Structure 1
Amino acid sequence: MSSESIDRIMSQFEKLTDEEQNSMTTGLSSHFDKPIQFSATGLAALHPDELGIIGNILNGLILTKEYVPDIRGVYGRLNVTELSRNIFFGRIEES
Protein backbone atom coordinates (compact mmCIF):
# COMPACT_ATOMS: atom_id res chain seq x y z
CA MET A 1 0.00 0.00 0.00
CA SER A 2 1.07 3.54 -0.54
CA SER A 3 2.40 5.86 2.11
CA GLU A 4 -0.87 7.78 1.66
CA SER A 5 -2.79 4.74 2.94
CA ILE A 6 -0.44 4.38 5.88
CA ASP A 7 -0.82 8.09 6.67
CA ARG A 8 -4.62 7.69 6.58
CA ILE A 9 -4.47 4.71 8.96
CA MET A 10 -2.18 6.64 11.32
CA SER A 11 -4.50 9.65 11.22
CA GLN A 12 -7.52 7.48 12.03
CA PHE A 13 -5.65 5.68 14.80
CA GLU A 14 -4.81 9.00 16.45
CA LYS A 15 -8.53 9.81 16.69
CA LEU A 16 -8.94 6.95 19.17
CA THR A 17 -8.60 7.27 22.92
CA ASP A 18 -5.58 5.65 24.60
CA GLU A 19 -7.79 2.80 25.80
CA GLU A 20 -9.17 2.24 22.29
CA GLN A 21 -5.66 2.36 20.81
CA ASN A 22 -4.46 -0.27 23.28
CA SER A 23 -7.49 -2.44 22.61
CA MET A 24 -7.04 -2.10 18.84
CA THR A 25 -3.33 -2.95 19.02
CA THR A 26 -3.94 -5.96 21.27
CA GLY A 27 -6.86 -7.25 19.20
CA LEU A 28 -5.11 -6.89 15.85
CA SER A 29 -1.88 -8.41 17.18
CA SER A 30 -3.89 -11.38 18.37
CA HIS A 31 -5.80 -11.64 15.09
CA PHE A 32 -2.71 -11.49 12.88
CA ASP A 33 -0.70 -13.59 15.36
CA LYS A 34 2.15 -11.07 15.34
CA PRO A 35 2.82 -7.72 17.00
CA ILE A 36 1.20 -4.76 15.25
CA GLN A 37 2.86 -1.38 15.62
CA PHE A 38 1.00 1.75 14.63
CA SER A 39 3.95 3.63 13.22
CA ALA A 40 4.97 4.37 9.65
CA THR A 41 7.69 1.71 9.72
CA GLY A 42 5.53 -0.81 11.59
CA LEU A 43 2.66 -0.49 9.12
CA ALA A 44 4.99 -0.49 6.10
CA ALA A 45 6.17 -3.96 7.13
CA LEU A 46 2.65 -5.38 6.82
CA HIS A 47 1.10 -7.06 3.78
CA PRO A 48 -1.27 -4.81 1.78
CA ASP A 49 -4.19 -7.12 2.61
CA GLU A 50 -3.46 -6.69 6.32
CA LEU A 51 -3.35 -2.93 5.90
CA GLY A 52 -6.70 -3.06 4.13
CA ILE A 53 -8.23 -4.99 7.03
CA ILE A 54 -6.79 -2.57 9.58
CA GLY A 55 -8.05 0.42 7.59
CA ASN A 56 -11.54 -1.04 7.32
CA ILE A 57 -11.69 -1.83 11.04
CA LEU A 58 -10.59 1.70 11.93
CA ASN A 59 -13.13 3.19 9.50
CA GLY A 60 -15.92 1.16 11.08
CA LEU A 61 -14.90 2.03 14.63
CA ILE A 62 -14.64 5.74 13.92
CA LEU A 63 -17.93 5.78 12.00
CA THR A 64 -19.62 4.05 14.92
CA LYS A 65 -18.16 6.54 17.39
CA GLU A 66 -19.00 9.65 15.36
CA TYR A 67 -22.49 8.71 14.21
CA VAL A 68 -24.79 8.27 17.16
CA PRO A 69 -28.40 8.36 15.98
CA ASP A 70 -30.84 10.44 18.00
CA ILE A 71 -33.39 7.67 18.53
CA ARG A 72 -35.27 9.44 21.31
CA GLY A 73 -35.47 12.68 19.33
CA VAL A 74 -36.77 10.94 16.23
CA TYR A 75 -39.30 8.95 18.24
CA GLY A 76 -40.47 12.16 19.91
CA ARG A 77 -41.10 13.74 16.50
CA LEU A 78 -43.04 10.73 15.22
CA ASN A 79 -46.78 10.90 15.27
CA VAL A 80 -47.29 7.41 16.66
CA THR A 81 -51.06 7.79 16.69
CA GLU A 82 -51.08 7.62 12.89
CA LEU A 83 -49.10 4.39 12.71
CA SER A 84 -51.00 1.23 11.95
CA ARG A 85 -51.45 -1.14 14.85
CA ASN A 86 -52.53 -4.07 12.67
CA ILE A 87 -50.16 -6.65 11.27
CA PHE A 88 -51.14 -8.70 8.26
CA PHE A 89 -49.45 -11.82 6.97
CA GLY A 90 -49.76 -13.22 3.52
CA ARG A 91 -48.71 -12.79 -0.04
CA ILE A 92 -49.23 -9.69 -2.12
CA GLU A 93 -50.32 -10.68 -5.59
CA GLU A 94 -49.40 -8.44 -8.46
CA SER A 95 -52.14 -7.72 -10.97
Structure 2
Amino acid sequence: MMEQSVNELASAFERLDRREQDMLLRKFRQHFGREVSISSDGLRDMNADEVESIRATIVGLVLTKEQVPDIVGMYEKLRGTQLPARASFGRKSP
Protein backbone atom coordinates (compact mmCIF):
# COMPACT_ATOMS: atom_id res chain seq x y z
CA MET A 1 0.00 0.00 0.00
CA MET A 2 2.78 2.43 0.93
CA GLU A 3 4.61 1.65 -2.33
CA GLN A 4 1.47 2.41 -4.35
CA SER A 5 1.00 5.74 -2.53
CA VAL A 6 4.62 6.69 -3.17
CA ASN A 7 4.32 5.84 -6.89
CA GLU A 8 1.07 7.80 -7.25
CA LEU A 9 2.57 10.69 -5.33
CA ALA A 10 5.72 10.82 -7.49
CA SER A 11 3.69 10.60 -10.69
CA ALA A 12 1.37 13.43 -9.63
CA PHE A 13 4.32 15.56 -8.45
CA GLU A 14 5.93 15.32 -11.91
CA ARG A 15 2.76 16.80 -13.46
CA LEU A 16 3.33 20.07 -11.57
CA ASP A 17 5.56 22.80 -12.93
CA ARG A 18 8.83 23.61 -11.18
CA ARG A 19 7.43 26.66 -9.37
CA GLU A 20 4.59 24.59 -7.89
CA GLN A 21 6.97 21.79 -6.91
CA ASP A 22 9.26 24.23 -5.12
CA MET A 23 6.32 25.86 -3.32
CA LEU A 24 5.03 22.48 -2.11
CA LEU A 25 8.45 21.36 -0.93
CA ARG A 26 8.83 24.60 1.07
CA LYS A 27 5.38 24.14 2.64
CA PHE A 28 6.05 20.48 3.46
CA ARG A 29 9.36 21.49 5.07
CA GLN A 30 7.53 24.07 7.19
CA HIS A 31 4.77 21.63 8.13
CA PHE A 32 6.92 18.59 8.94
CA GLY A 33 9.92 20.51 10.26
CA ARG A 34 12.34 18.71 7.95
CA GLU A 35 13.21 18.41 4.27
CA VAL A 36 10.85 16.28 2.22
CA SER A 37 12.07 14.60 -0.94
CA ILE A 38 9.43 13.25 -3.31
CA SER A 39 11.09 9.91 -4.04
CA SER A 40 10.89 6.41 -2.61
CA ASP A 41 14.20 7.00 -0.81
CA GLY A 42 13.11 10.40 0.48
CA LEU A 43 9.77 9.15 1.78
CA ARG A 44 11.14 5.96 3.34
CA ASP A 45 11.71 7.62 6.73
CA MET A 46 8.19 9.06 6.91
CA ASN A 47 5.28 7.20 8.44
CA ALA A 48 2.28 6.11 6.37
CA ASP A 49 0.07 8.96 7.62
CA GLU A 50 2.63 11.56 6.58
CA VAL A 51 3.03 10.01 3.14
CA GLU A 52 -0.76 9.86 2.72
CA SER A 53 -1.06 13.52 3.71
CA ILE A 54 1.56 14.51 1.13
CA ARG A 55 -0.05 12.28 -1.52
CA ALA A 56 -3.52 13.73 -0.93
CA THR A 57 -2.17 17.30 -1.10
CA ILE A 58 -0.30 16.76 -4.36
CA VAL A 59 -3.08 14.75 -6.04
CA GLY A 60 -5.62 17.36 -4.92
CA LEU A 61 -3.55 20.20 -6.38
CA VAL A 62 -3.15 18.37 -9.70
CA LEU A 63 -6.86 17.56 -9.83
CA THR A 64 -7.78 21.17 -9.08
CA LYS A 65 -5.45 22.47 -11.80
CA GLU A 66 -6.71 20.03 -14.40
CA GLN A 67 -10.41 20.45 -13.63
CA VAL A 68 -10.64 24.24 -13.42
CA PRO A 69 -13.84 25.24 -15.18
CA ASP A 70 -13.68 27.64 -18.09
CA ILE A 71 -15.55 30.45 -16.35
CA VAL A 72 -14.78 33.07 -18.99
CA GLY A 73 -15.83 30.73 -21.80
CA MET A 74 -19.05 29.81 -20.02
CA TYR A 75 -19.81 33.46 -19.33
CA GLU A 76 -19.42 34.29 -23.02
CA LYS A 77 -21.56 31.30 -24.00
CA LEU A 78 -24.38 32.36 -21.65
CA ARG A 79 -24.11 36.10 -22.30
CA GLY A 80 -27.57 37.47 -23.07
CA THR A 81 -29.30 34.39 -21.65
CA GLN A 82 -31.98 35.07 -19.07
CA LEU A 83 -30.72 33.30 -15.96
CA PRO A 84 -32.65 32.88 -12.71
CA ALA A 85 -32.10 35.75 -10.29
CA ARG A 86 -32.60 33.55 -7.23
CA ALA A 87 -31.53 30.11 -6.21
CA SER A 88 -33.19 28.12 -3.45
CA PHE A 89 -32.61 24.80 -1.80
CA GLY A 90 -34.92 22.48 0.05
CA ARG A 91 -38.69 22.48 0.04
CA LYS A 92 -40.86 25.26 -1.23
CA SER A 93 -42.96 26.82 1.47
CA PRO A 94 -46.71 26.90 0.79
Count of aligned pairs: 92
1:18 corresponds in structure 2 to 18
* CA-atom RMSD in angstroms: 2.5
Equivalent in the alignment of 1:2: 2
Q: Which has the larger radius of gyration?
A: 1
Q: Normalising by structure 1, report the TM-score.
A: 0.78
Match of 2:45 in 1: 45
TM superposition score normalised by structure 2: 0.79
Find the counterpart in structure 2 of residue 34 from structure 1.
34
Identity of paired residues, percent?
A: 35
Shift of 1:86: 6.9
For residues 26 and 18 of structure 1, what CA distance do their matches in structure 2 show? 12
CA distance in 2 between counterparts of 1:17 and 1:86 reads: 40
Structure 2: runs of 5 or more not aligned? none
Tell me the CA shift for residue 13 of structure 1.
0.9
Whichever residue aligns with residue 12 of structure 1, its letter is A
Counterpart amino acid of residue 32 in structure 2: F
1:11-57 residue CA offsets vs partner (Å, 9 max, x unmatched): 11111112211111111011011211112111121111111110111
